Amino acid sequence: MQGGELNIVHNGKDDLQTEADRSAQRCIVAPLTKQFPKVKIIGEEELVDQSIREEWLVTEIDAELVKLNYPEEWSDVKEEDIVIWVDGTSEYTHGLLEHVTV
């Protein structure tokens, strides 16, 4: 937004994709892929280039989160059986920054 150019790509009717969408997806997918290489991650944006600026990459894991117990019925779930969907928001393209979610 500060750069002044959103680099909008039209993916169809009412489906705009910005550089922020692409960057956000890279920032989410890169650390997840590194931490959980067997998990299938599907992003809304079809990205050929998955590279990310190193300073945008979150590498620290919340120690309190790691201590949480998962429900007992999930005890036999394997990492390769998990799918994570990454989806952005269209509000960004309309300047509604207070509505932006991922």
As annotated, the binding site for Mg(2+) includes 44, 87
Active-site residues: which are they?
21, 89
40-43/83-86 β-pairing: parallel
Render pLDDT for 34-56 as a digit per residue (tens, 0 to 9). Answer: 888 999 988 876 665 667 777 77
CATH 3.30.540.10 fits 9-64+75-94, yes or no: yes
CA distance linking residue 39 with residue 41, whole number of Å:
6
Is 76 or 26 the better-scoring residue by pLDDT? 76
The DSSP code sequence of 60-87 is ---HHHHHPPPPGGGTT--GGG-EEEE-
Query: What residues does each domain of the chain span?
Result: 9-64+75-94
Task: Give the pLDDT score at 81.
Answer: 93
Residue 61 CB burial class (10 angstroms; 0-12, 13-18, ≥19): exposed
